[in-house]
Amino acid sequence: MQEVKLQIAHHKTEVLLVRNCKVLRRAEITVREHIIVSKRVLKQLGVMIDDRLNFNTHVGYACEKAAKAINALARMRANNAGPCSSTRRLLASVSSSILRYGGPVCVAALETHRNRVKLSSTFRLMAMRVTSAYRTISSEAGMFPIGIIVVEDNECYKRKGIWGIRKTMRADSMAKCQYDWVSTHTGSLHLGKHEAW
């Protein structure tokens, strides 16, 4: 670095020690008079990378950031008044983009139930604002599920360059969404004794 007349900002340098064991390990790197201690989480290009590479931290970070955007939208107008649904959807796309950012990288994090619930709960807040729904509405009755959208983004990323891949994957996502809707018992319509009405 000195030969090309470049200097390193040692106080900005970070180290991440990736591990696959349960024992917490730390590393220290000494560069002249600076001691750089490894961290458990690093933020790189807006993606939180943890030392186990399971991206649990990124899901929590994205949900917290999206929730702030949703709350900002909620303060603009009441849930039962204000802009029309198309305008609400446009404003809500900001929080949706936050949740989808880095999706192809951390889609493996959605394999755990805790992360799926956390992501869906945050997306549900936005869906209720777009549809002006009550808090008692089921998650299945809201907008297109965020979990399916993230998986779709991941598949499109892996197959980028293929013409019409987004359209094909959206058809698969619609089929998956329809299957989940038919299979659920909370969002579907059961007339029961009022069926004759």
Over residues 131-144, the pLDDT tens digits come to: 666 665 655 555 67
- The answer on pLDDT for 165 being more than 50 is yes
Task: Count the helices and strands in the chain (H runs, E runs).
Answer: 6, 4
Range of the domain at 24: 11-43
pLDDT at residue number 111: 82
Together in a domain, 67 and 135: yes
| Window from 43-52, 133-142, 160-169, 173-182 with minimum mean pLDDT | 133-142
d(CA 185, CA 163): 38
DSSP code, position 39: B
Which tokens sit at 91?
A: 């404003």
Report field, pTM of the whole predicted structure over 0.85 = no
Q: Within a domain: residue 4?
A: no
Together in a domain, 87 and 34: no
What are the pLDDT digits (tens) for 91-129? Answer: 677 778 888 888 777 787 888 888 888 888 888 777 777
Together in a domain, 72 and 138: yes
pLDDT at residue number 192: 39
